[in-house]
Structure 1
Amino acid sequence: MEKRLNVPITDENLNELKAGDVIYLTGNILTARDQAHKRIIDQGAPLDIEGAAIFHAGPIISENDGEYDMVAIGPTTSMRMNPYQGDVLDMGPKIIIGKGGMDDTVREALIRNDALYVVATGGCAALYVDAVEKIESVDWLDLGMPEAMWNLKVKDFGPLIVAMDSKGNSLYD
């Protein structure tokens, strides 16, 4: 199945999506890597993450007089977020985007929260950047540009493959 979803997810039923399905996202996605995940748990998120799509990515950004432009954005290895992802999922995000799979604690959190882990193809940073319409905001720049939380307005961001669904199915099994 191929499906187009608007984010944040409000009343979409993600239960109908299963491992192997392809999705595209329109709306806003947030980037977050290790340090941002840790800070979300320690301090709370700087933005509302209810229904959010969180992308494990360290984008390449150019800055000119306080204006930011997206140069490239591709997935980073998700397993680094395993220690934090379950707790963050319990705070309301519905879609986690990354690469390389996640562990059983995350699988349990996906089931518990009716959420999905979807994979973006590594090496396609130039393709994904074309779907970024605008950088809406950035938080936690003190963590460094790749670790900061970027709020991106996207249109038809994908293709993304459902790798772990809300029923516990995983393409990694």
Structure 2
Amino acid sequence: MVEYRLNLPLTDEDVEKLRTGDILYLNGEMFMGRDEAHERALEHAKEGKSFPINPKGLALFHCGPVVQQTAEGKWKVMAAGPTTSSRMNLFEPEFLEAFGIKVIIGKGGMDDRTLTALQKYKAVYTIFTGGAGVLAAKGIKNSTMKEVHWLDLGTPEALWVFEGENFGPLVVAMDSHGQSLLKKVRDQANANIKNIENRLGLSLS
């Protein structure tokens, strides 16, 4: 396990040195988007419309933040806990191909299609602790969003842009070398169950 503090945007070389189990802190421009933002972004791409920001090399956070608009019109972040990433399984491989992001942040893991896409497009999937939304908000510069797009989708589903300041800790759960920490844990758990079954003469699975 190695700890990295990296500045966005990232390059292929930055990503290739990251391995499952590594700890990552990020600095620089990042954005939040869930399934509805993914769907709209991909629809716009097919129509030849540009993305609201340049996403190449950036980090995408699966998050529907809790925000409050100030009298000056700024958006303060109260909490920013991760959304269950499996909601984005349908869109993520195509999103990686279309927009060149290098880091995905979420919780719960993603499917084998996404793992294959991470290898192909040189990106990593990282996990932020669920239930720690206040901690995540502290990793956002001034706890304030830089920009918001597609507010018509609703605040949880809009595309939020922010500046990360030592945003983390993030655990690399799926890397660009085809390794999945989540799969390793599942395989080890299944092996332990099988061992217990054999010792007790039971069948639990």
Higher strand share: 1
What residue in structure 2 maps to residue 42 of structure 1? 43
Any stretches of 5+ residues in structure 2 without a counterpart?
Answer: 46-50, 184-205
Q: CA RMSD in A?
A: 1.1
SS of residue paired to 2:181 = coil
Query: Residue 106 of structure 2 aligns to which amino acid in structure 1?
Result: G
For 2:115, give the aligned amino acid.
Answer: R
SS of match in other structure, 1:90: helix
Whether 2:167 is the aligned partner of 1:157: answer yes
Alignment-mate amino acid for residue 138 of structure 2: D
Which residues of structure 1 form unaligned runs of 5+? none
1:68 correspondence with 2:75? yes
Query: C-alpha separation between the residues in 2 aligned to 1:13 and 1:70?
Result: 29
Q: 2-side partners of 1:170 and 1:11: how far apart?
A: 19
Paired residue for 1:79?
86
Instruction: Number of aligned residue pairs: give it.
Output: 173
Aligned residues: percent identity? Answer: 45
User: Displaced runs of 4+ in structure 1, greater than 3 A?
Assistant: none
1:20 counterpart residue number: 21
- Return 54-63 or 131-140, whichever deviates more: 131-140
Higher relative contact order (CA 8 A, sep 6+): 1
- Between the aligned partners of 2:116 and 2:25, the Cα distance in structure 1 is 24
Counterpart residue identity of residue 162, structure 2: L
Give me the TM-score of the superposition, normalised by structure 2. 0.82
The match for 2:5 is 4
Aligned partners of 2:112, 2:13: CA distance in 1, in Å? 24
SS of residue paired to 1:46: coil
